[in-house]
Structure 1
Amino acid sequence: RCGCERIRINVSGHFFETRASILDKHPDTLLGNPRKRQLYYDHTRDEIFLDRHRPSFEAIFSYYQYGGKLKRPHHVHDDIFLSELMFYELESDVVEEYKRGEGYTSDDIEVPKNKILKYLWMLFEYPETSRAAFVVALVSVIMTLVSIILFCVETLPAFSDTHCVADEAPNFLDPFFIIETTCTLWFTAEVVIRFISSPNKFRFIKDFKNIVDVTAIIPYYITFVNVISTMSCSSAKSSASLAFLRVIRLIRVFKLTKHSVGLQVLVLTFKASIEGLGLFLVALIVC
C-alpha cells in the first residue's frame, strides 16, 4: 500500500522488477492501475505474466521508470511497437507524440450531415472508400498529367503557330485549346463540387491542396477572358503577366500529392527537415 513493495513482471520469459510506486505514477495505464494488472497476476509464481513482445517492453519499461518520450528500438517494427503501446494503454498524449515523431498523421475525418453532400464529399475526397471514388481520383490524376505534359509540349517551336489563324484570330479548334479546356472544366467542376459538399468551408479554403487547385485553374480563365476581349491570341501570348500565369499552371503537379502516399511522405520529410534545408539555402545564397 505504501508503494515500497517490489513487483516482478515476466514478459515472455524476460524478467523485469520494479517498485509499485514507480508504476503508480501512471495510474491510467495497464501496469499502473492495480486493478488492471491484477488480471495478469500469477499467484503460484508471485509475478505478473504477460505473453507479449519482449523487445518492445524494454522501451516501455524504461518509460515507466524514467518518463519522458517513448523511443522505439531500431530493430522493432513500428506497427508492432504501436500495438504494444495500445495494449499497455499508455497515456494518449504520449502515444500521439510518438506517432507524430514516426510520421503518422492524425487528421479528424469530418463528413457532411446531408446524405447527398456526404456522398459527393466521399466521392471526390477519399478514393479508398469506393470503386467510383477510385475512378474519380484516377481521372483527376490523368487530367493533371495530361495538362502538365500539354503545357510542356505546346512550347515546342513546331506548335507555336497552331494557336492562331489568319489575322491573328484565336483558333478555338486548336487541339491544345480543346484539351486544356477539357482539363480545366474538370478541375473547375471538381473544386466547385468539393467546396459545396465540404463540411467545413473555412477549413476547405485554408487547405494547401485546395489553394493549389484554385491557383491552377485561374490562369486559364484570365488568359481566356483576355483573348475573348481582344480577339487576338498574339496579345495574350506576348503579355508578360499572362505568361507568368501560364507558368503557374505547373503548380498542378502538387495535386498529385493528394493521391500519392509517396509524395505525401516526401512533403512530410521536407517539413521535418526544414531547419536543415533552410541553413543549406542560406549557405547557398551566400556562395
Structure 2
Amino acid sequence: MADVNLNVGGTIFQTTTQTLTKFPDTKLGSLKKNFSMDNSPTTFFFDRNPDVFNSILDLYRTGELHFPSYFCGATIRNELKFWQIDKTYVSECCLESLYRYDDEMGILSEIKSLQEKKVLDIPEDECREGCPRDFLWRLLQYPETSRKASVFSVVYLFMVLLSTSVLFISTDPDLRQPIGSTENATSSNDKTLMYTHTSVPTSIWIIDISCGIFFTLEFFIRVMVTPQRWRHFFCCPLNVVDVIVITAFWMFNCMVHVGPVFLHRKTFSFLVMILASARLLQLCRFYRFMCRFSSFDVINLAARASVGKFGILIALFTLSNLFFGYLIYYVEFDQRDSFNNAFVGFWWAVVTMTTVGYGDIVPTFFLGRVVAMLCALTGILILAMPIAIVTSNFTLYYAKLKQYTMHRKESKQKENCKKKEKKKKKNLCKTVSPISVLSVKPIR
C-alpha cells in the first residue's frame, strides 16, 4: 500500500493506492498502472480546482460524494466530467447544488428570449436615417428609441384611459339623453329601453368617436409601415385584439344609431351584449404600455412557470366541488326548498369553497351544515396553495431578471466606452494634419 501525492492546482493531497482503487472506472482509479513498485511516493499533477477536489477525494475515502452548497452547478458538472465520476455517486442531500444549475439556466433562457422580443425588429444595417417608414414604426412600436416615441406612448395611454372612461360613463342612465318616448315600448328590459330610447351626450359621443378614429388610424399606420410580413403581424395576439376592438367599436356605434329601427328587441339586446363585451377587450391595450416595465415581465414569467401547478390545483378544486355538491344534495334530500338537483349543489360548493357565500342557497339540516363546514375548510386549504406558488416563482424570476439586467448594463457600458475611445482616436487622426514634405529639385 504505497502513498500517492496528488498535486491539484498547487495544493498537495496525500492518499494511498488502496483508497484510489476503490473506484477503478474513474480517472484516479485508472492511475494504478503508473504507481511505483518500490513503495516510494508517486506524485501526479492536475491543473484543476483544489477546493472541489477535496470533495472528490472524499468519495474515495468514505464512499459518499458531497459538495458545499455555494458551489456552482456548472463547476460541479465540469469536475465530475474531468474526473470521470458519474452523477449517480452524488449524495441525495447535495442534488440541489447539482440540478439547481439546470433550473437557473432555464430561467435565464426564458428571460433572454423575452428580452430579445423587445429588440428593434429592424436590423441595424437596414435602418436608414430620415426614412419615414422606419421612423413611424419606431414611433408607434418602440417608446424607448426616442423622446418623440416616449411622448406618443404617453398620448396612447391617455387615449386608452379616455376611451375606457367613456365606455363606462355611457352605461349610466342618469347621464344619457332621451331621444324618443317609451310609452309604446314593448320591451320589459330597462337596459334595452335605455339603448333604444336614450343616447349619450354629444360631448361624450365626440370624445368616443375621436378615440375610435385615433386607434383606427394608429392600427392602419402600423399595418402599412411594419417591417414584418402581414402573416406574422396578424398572428400577434395584441394585433388580433386590435382588429376585434376596432370592428366592434364601429359596428356598435352604427347599430346603436340604426339598429333599434330595423332589429327585433331580443336581437338588438343580444348584439349589444356581444359588441359591448368585445369593446372591453381594449383594456388589453394597457399591455403594450406595461411591457416597458421589467416587473410586468416577471409576472408573465411567474404565471407561465405556474401553469402546470395551477392545472393540478384546478383539477383538485373541480373534483372537490363535485364531491361536496353531490353529497349536499343527498344530505339535504328531505328539504324541499333547497338543492333541487345536484347542479345546484355544485354551484353552492363553488360559492362556498371560494369563500364568496352569496347566501342564496344554504343547508338547513344538521348534517348539511357539517358538510358545509368541511367544504369551506377544504376550499381554504386548496386556494391557499396558489398564493405560495406564485410568490415563490415571482421572487425567483425577479432575482434572476435583476441579476441579468445588471450584468447586461455593465456589458453595454463597456461596449459604449470602447466605441467612444475608437471615435476619439478617429477624430484625433483627422485633426492631426500631415507634415508637408519639401521636395528639392536640383538646379541645372
Residue identity opposite 2:313 in structure 1:
F
Q: Residue 179 of structure 1 corresponds to which residue in structure 2?
A: 207
Q: Residue 269 of structure 1 corresponds to which residue in structure 2?
A: 302
Q: Distance in 2 between matches of 1:227 and 1:284?
A: 42
| Residue pairs, 1:28-67, within 5 angstroms | 58-65=72-79
Cα 1:228/1:155, change in 2 over 3 Å: closer
- Alpha carbons 1:103, 1:268 under 8 Å: kept: no
Cα 1:234/1:171, change in 2 over 3 Å: farther
TM-score, normalised by the number of residues in structure 2: 0.43
Q: Distance in 2 between matches of 1:98 and 1:66?
A: 24
| Residue pairs, 1:1-287, within 5 angstroms | 6-9=46-49, 15-17=51-53, 58-65=72-79, 71=101, 97-101=106-110, 105=114, 106-107=116-117, 109-111=120-122, 113=126, 115-159=131-175, 161-162=176-177, 165-166=179-180, 174-200=202-228, 201-227=230-256, 229-230=258-259, 238-260=268-290, 261=293, 262-286=295-319, 287=321
How big is each residue's C-alpha offset from its partner over 1:123-180, in whole Å with a ceiling of 9 and x where there is no partner?
A: 1111011111011111111111222222222222312x33x53577886862222111
Q: Distance in 1 between matches of 2:52 and 2:80?
A: 15
Q: Structure 1 unaligned runs (5+)?
A: 19-54, 79-94
Residue identity opposite 2:72 in structure 1:
E
Alignment length (residue pairs): 222
Higher relative contact order (CA 8 A, sep 6+): 1
Q: Distance in 1 between matches of 2:137 and 2:70?
A: 40
Secondary structure of the 1:247 match is helix
Q: Residue 5 of structure 2 corresponds to which residue in structure 1?
A: none
- Alpha carbons 2:140, 2:149 under 8 Å: kept: yes
Pick the structure with greater CA Rg: 2
- Alpha carbons 2:159, 2:211 under 8 Å: kept: yes
- Alpha carbons 2:73, 2:99 under 8 Å: kept: no
Cα 1:228/1:130, change in 2 over 3 Å: same
Cα 1:264/1:244, change in 2 over 3 Å: farther
Cα 1:235/1:223, change in 2 over 3 Å: farther
Q: Structure 2 unaligned runs (5+)?
A: 1-26, 29-44, 55-68, 82-97, 182-195, 322-444
How big is each residue's C-alpha offset from its partner over 1:189-234, in whole Å with a ceiling of 9 and x where there is no partner?
A: 1111111111112211111111122222221111223245458599
Between the two proteins, what is the percent identity of the paired residues? 20
Q: Which moved more, 1:184-193 or 1:254-263?
A: 254-263
TM-score, normalised by the number of residues in structure 1: 0.63
